[in-house]
Amino acid sequence: MARIVQKYGGTSVGDVDRIKNVAARIKANRDAGNELVVVVSARAGVTNELIARAKAVCAMPSEREMDQLLSIGEQETIALTAMALHGIGVEAVSYTGAQAGIFTDTVHTKAKIKTINAKPLIKDLEAGKVIIVAGFQGINDDGQITTLGRGGSDLTAIALAAAIHADKCEIYTDVDGVYTADPRVVKDAKKLQEISYDEMLELASLGSKVMQTRSVEFASKYNVVFEVRSSFNNNPGTIVKQEVAYMEKVVVRGVAVDKDQAKVVVSNIADKPGTAAKVFRALAEANINVDMIVQNVGKDGVANLTFTVPQTETLKAEQTLAPVLKAIGGSVTLDDKIAKLSVVGVGMRTHSGVASTLFSALADAGINLELISTSEIKISVVIAKDKADDAARAAHKAFQLDQLG
Amino acid sequence: MARIVQKYGGTSVGDVDRIKNVAARIKANRDAGNELVVVVSARAGVTNELIARAKAVCAMPSEREMDQLLSIGEQETIALTAMALHGIGVEAVSYTGAQAGIFTDTVHTKAKIKTINAKPLIKDLEAGKVIIVAGFQGINDDGQITTLGRGGSDLTAIALAAAIHADKCEIYTDVDGVYTADPRVVKDAKKLQEISYDEMLELASLGSKVMQTRSVEFASKYNVVFEVRSSFNNNPGTIVKQEVAYMEKVVVRGVAVDKDQAKVVVSNIADKPGTAAKVFRALAEANINVDMIVQNVGKDGVANLTFTVPQTETLKAEQTLAPVLKAIGGSVTLDDKIAKLSVVGVGMRTHSGVASTLFSALADAGINLELISTSEIKISVVIAKDKADDAARAAHKAFQLDQLG
């Protein structure tokens, strides 16, 4: 008997039939003797419908009222899931975020979990009931409903797993697990049996889209081992944890490509202290996410600053920089025909030569590097967008990732 | 400046445009300097949609989970109404039943309000905010969401009006107020300016359909004066209160017709102690609502019992009685081609002759009386259904109700 937290996303509970399917999976698991806490999201599409209705009555809905509104999506799913379980003879009880004792700070639409008072939930769990918890939501000390922002249901599951000392935490999504590369691009990409938090974090932030980074960070902080797997089949998924077997031998565990970035070049600015600071302070104040910064000093005391931003923020970046450059001189050019390719692996901490292997493989494939940045467990390069898939295949092969998994 | 509780039903907030319309009415009232607490129902149709989804996952959904599910209907409306008010520059804040401190007993789907802790609500109200409260719902001491059953939103409004010592309580519906008779049947029916709780109770229970009796009972118990009026125009409605002006002079204030009853005749049962008790105990145990009981003793020591039940419960009544009659003898006949006509008025307490006026008027119209029952402020008769409208017009004229209002 194990104590398990499962999380099913919006696609898995997208309609009445899928909710019944999830109920059947839960029953099988319960019949095997496990204690189960199940976190569910709103039905796919419901949140967008509610947002559309909000925009129809008010151009700029308040975040407090958005939370009152959006939290009903999960509340519908928990009740229907509990009912579907009753329909097949499984004792179950639904919990809203507030009822599950998920206390957050007061920041509406992107609240942080402060504490979980899981006592009532544990009592029901130990009485043999399956517990169905609304993901994505909590309550603050004033009794206001809050929501946790994107990826919030994953966070609910992982935080609950920590709070109730679960043996396992299973995140069910519409993908099978974490792959060494995008299988649609790299034919011999392999599903990883295990991956470390740090690697998962880099892959999540690099656009592999399986999970939001904050959930992985939370899991890492509280050492919650979780498995990413599909709700549409019974294949084993990928286990995410602190220390991964044969970690030392594997240098690179995955290749990620992000095609949603754009490159910004600020040219001909004065090469003196404080110039770069002015540029990035302006971008930070405009809440623009800046990644991969490189500065080249040219001749005649002028410098070029290059960095990447999300494509959706390029116009905002240009508008933000205009007054700054008026003051300090220089000009801006934008390029959204780029992609960022990264190789990730905790093993590279102790191995040299990773950079040269990557750069050689890309050079052999005739791919030019526009920017390079490195961290302890990651090397990222900016390349032409139309070469991104070729580059992923070349890197995957160079690090022999088809041998993994 | 007055402190006003308003309640808008599901039709009044049926879609985004109607919610905006309600917001505009609220703003006009707020701009006039009033303090406003507004209770709203779920959008018309939402509750039925949710019930259909529940039935699709489970044949007999648990009442606890039904409450979790159905309460989201009002939660959607409060958030959208608050947003619509923000959109036109009115400070507003939404409250779920739990947030409004509406504590109930633990009987799911038809909970009773125990206490209201309105302190946080009053604080926001006195800070100048319009308060939007979800009708129909509360919370019990264990933090479980409960719902108040049919007509629950009216009850929320009246209970809140009592709790915050409101100067006025306005119940907005799709009718203009309470009439002396159904205006679709009796052309010169008049809208009443005022009506007493007792009269309203009899009219509500007799099928005038304006409000559920429990809300009127609650108002009577806590002496909450309320007005029933339309949300689609600005006509004054009908004020419901304890003592009504010129009460002594008006003998009958309204004529109500209920066409949804059926007559049950239990014939040839033994005329001895306990026989009738056995019949009605069986019906009570089956939760069948029995009204208008008459017993005739015939010759040879056998009796006939006649009573009315809601038409929807006739089959259930027949099935329930079968084993009883097998034991005590007798047979059952059903007749659903009947209607119940009632005249109501607190004035009849002190006036004799009401019954004879009614019976004469019906006799003159050639209408036969099948059953008669009377209470302090009401006389009811069962007649043929196809004569019901004629009977209503005859009674309305006999008591000169076209002179009222």
**Per-residue pLDDT tens listing for chain B (405 residues):** 899 999 999 999 999 999 999 999 999 999 999 999 999 999 999 999 999 999 999 999 999 999 999 999 999 999 999 999 999 999 999 999 999 999 999 999 989 999 999 999 999 999 999 999 999 999 999 999 999 988 899 999 999 999 999 999 999 987 889 999 988 899 999 999 999 999 998 887 666 677 888 899 999 999 999 999 998 888 999 999 997 665 557 789 899 999 989 999 998 888 777 888 889 989 988 888 888 888 777 667 788 889 999 998 898 999 999 999 998 888 999 999 999 999 999 888 767 788 889 999 999 999 999 888 888 888 999 999 999 999 999 999 999 999 876
A289: left (phi over 0), alpha (psi -120 to 50) or beta: beta
Nearest to B57 among A59, A72, A87 (CB): A87
Whole-angstrom distance, CA of residue B87 vs CA of residue B27: 11
Check B98 against A143: CB less than 8 A apart: yes
Lowest mean pLDDT among A70-84, A139-153, A293-307, B330-344: A293-307
Query: Domains plus CATH for chain B?
Result: 3-174 (3.40.1160.10)
What are the chain B neighbours of A53 within 8 Å (beta carbons)? Answer: 16, 76, 80
At residue A172, the pLDDT reads 94
Taking the CA atoms of residue B399, residue B402, residue B403 and residue B405 in that order, the dihedral angle to the nearest 10 degrees is: 110
At residue B275, the pLDDT reads 83
Look up the ipTM and state it: 0.81
Nearest to A19 among B57, B68, B120 (CB): B57
Q: Which helix (H) or strand (E) holds A76?
A: helix A63-87
At residue A296, the pLDDT reads 78
Cβ contact A272:A310 at 8 Å:
no
- State how far the alpha carbon of B185 is from the alpha carbons of A70, A341, B257, B305, B393, in Å: 45, 78, 10, 32, 7
For residue B377, which phi and psi values (nearest 5 degrees)?
A: -120, 20
Tell me the mean pLDDT in the region A134-155.
Answer: 95
Check A79 against B65: CB less than 8 A apart: yes
Strand partners, B342: B256, B380
Whole-angstrom distance, CA of residue B177 vs CA of residue B134: 23
- Which of the pair, A284 or A73, is modelled with greater confidence? A73
At residue B263, the pLDDT reads 93
Give the contacts of A75 (CB within 8 A, at least 6 positions apart).
Answer: A96, A134, B68, B69, B71, B72, B75
Nearest to B87 among A58, A68, A94 (CB): A58
Residue B369 burial class via C-beta count within 10 angstroms: exposed 0-12, middle 13-18, buried 19 and up = middle
Check B79 against A68: CB less than 8 A apart: yes
Check A65 against B98: CB less than 8 A apart: no
Letter for the amino acid at A203? Answer: L
Nearest residue in chain B measured CA to CA from A72: B72
> What is the number of CB-based contacts under 8 A between chain A and chain B?
111
- pLDDT, one tens digit per residue, over A192-211 is 999 999 999 888 766 667 78
pTM exceeds 0.80? yes
What are the chain B neighbours of A16 within 8 Å (beta carbons)? Answer: 53, 56-57
Cβ contact A345:A375 at 8 Å:
no
Nearest to B84 among A23, A58, A79 (CB): A58
Letter for the amino acid at A7? Answer: K
At residue A243, the pLDDT reads 78
In terms of Cα–Cα distance, which of B243, B229, B46 is closest to B154? B229
Number of Cα atoms under 13 Å in the Cβ half of residue B359: 11
Check B54 against A82: CB less than 8 A apart: no
SS (H, E, C) chain B: CCEEEEEECCCCCCCHHHHHHHHHHHHHHHHCCCEEEEEECCCCCHHHHHHHHHHHHCCCCCHHHHHHHHHHHHHHHHHHHHHHHHHCCCCEEEECCCCCCEEECCCCCCCCEEEECCHHHHHHHHCCCEEEEECCEEECCCCCEEECCCCHHHHHHHHHHHHCCCCEEEEEECCCCCECCCCCCCCCCCECCEEEHHHHHHHHHHHHCCCCHHHHHHHHHHCCCEEEEECCCCCCCEEEECCCCCCCCCCCCEEEEECCEEEEEEEEEECCCCHHHHHHHHHHHCCCCCEEEEEEECCCCEEEEEEEEEHHHHHHHHHHHHHHHHHHCCEEEEECCEEEEEEECHHHHCCCCHHHHHHHHHHHCCCCCCEEEEECCEEEEEEEHHHHHHHHHHHHHHCCHHHCC
User: Strand, coil or helix: what is A96?
Assistant: coil
Lowest mean pLDDT among A222-226, A376-380, B137-141, B341-345: A376-380
Whole-angstrom distance, CA of residue B373 vs CA of residue B363: 17
Tell me the mean pLDDT in the region A226-234.
Answer: 91
In terms of Cα–Cα distance, which of B4, B3, B1, B19 is closest to B229? B4
Give the contacts of B19 (CB within 8 A, at least 6 positions apart).
Answer: A57, B13, B77, B80, B81, B84
From the candidates B65, B74, B94, which should be mutated to test the interface with A, based on the most A CB atoms within 10 A? Answer: B65
* Average pLDDT for chain A: 91
Check A75 against B68: CB less than 8 A apart: yes
Cβ contact A256:A206 at 8 Å:
yes
| Residues of chain B in Cβ contact (below 8 Å) with chain A | 16, 19-20, 23, 50, 53-54, 56-62, 64-66, 68-69, 71-72, 75-76, 78-80, 82-84, 86-87, 93-94, 96, 98-99, 120, 142-145
| Residues of chain A in Cβ contact (below 8 Å) with chain B | 16, 19-20, 23, 50, 53-54, 56-62, 64-66, 68-69, 71-72, 75-76, 78-80, 82-84, 86-87, 93-94, 96, 98-99, 120, 143-145
Check B19 against A57: CB less than 8 A apart: yes
At residue A327, the pLDDT reads 87
Sign of CA dihedral B47, B52, B55, B60: positive
Whole-angstrom distance, CA of residue B153 vs CA of residue B135: 4
- pLDDT, one tens digit per residue, over A38-49 is 999 999 999 999
- pLDDT, one tens digit per residue, over A240-274 is 999 766 655 778 999 999 998 999 999 888 877 78
Closest-CA distance, B8 to chain A, in angstroms, reads 17
Angle (deg, nearest 10), helices B388-398 and B354-364: 130
Whole-angstrom distance, CA of residue B79 vs CA of residue B96: 9
Strand order in the sheet with A371-375: A254-258, A338-344, A378-384, A371-375
For residue B35, which phi and psi values (nearest 5 degrees)?
A: -85, 130
Closest-CA distance, B328 to chain A, in angstroms, reads 40
Give the contacts of B309 (CB within 8 A, at least 6 positions apart).
Answer: B261, B262, B264, B283, B288, B289, B290, B291, B317
For residue B306, which phi and psi values (nearest 5 degrees)?
A: -125, 140
At residue A195, the pLDDT reads 92
Letter for the amino acid at B296? Answer: N
